[in-house]
Amino acid sequence: MRLELSIDEDSVEIELEKVTDQIVRDVNESVVDDNNYHARFDMDIALDCVSSTLLSLLSKLYTKLNHTLPVALIGNIATNVISGRFTTLQIALGIVLNRKGLIGQLYDFLVSRSCDEVLLFKPSVAATAVSNASLRGNP
């Protein structure tokens, strides 16, 4: 005798709508600091604007994704698509990559800003580095 689990498609759709609504709320509540840009990034910066609900969902899909760089990148891309705003990680990746062809390809995948946008941010990054002693290079 075999038991078959019957999943009501309507209830699954309702639950997906709840999760989706929560992720959108999380993204809309997140704030990207447009005055400070990072040429270096860590996990805190990478996860800064990613929905905690989305992170939980992704870690449920595959537990080894829990708080990893791939999940941060997926979360940042989703945040960009939902909000229409580039994230701190996407800006930092564009600045670090600094190669027009590669930046263009990553822009096509919504991983980074466009090359022209990256060029606009370079003066901001330089000004931030000058004003922040910890970002200056060693003499």
34 DSSP 8-state letter: T
Domain edges within the chain? 36-133
CB atoms within 10 A of CB 127: 13
Under a CB-based contact definition with an 8 Å cutoff, are residues 75 and 84 in contact?
no
pLDDT in tens, 78-114: 999 999 988 888 888 877 776 777 777 777 767 777 7
pLDDT of amino acid 12: 84
Start-to-end CA span in the chain (Å)? 76
Is-above-0.75 flag for pTM? no
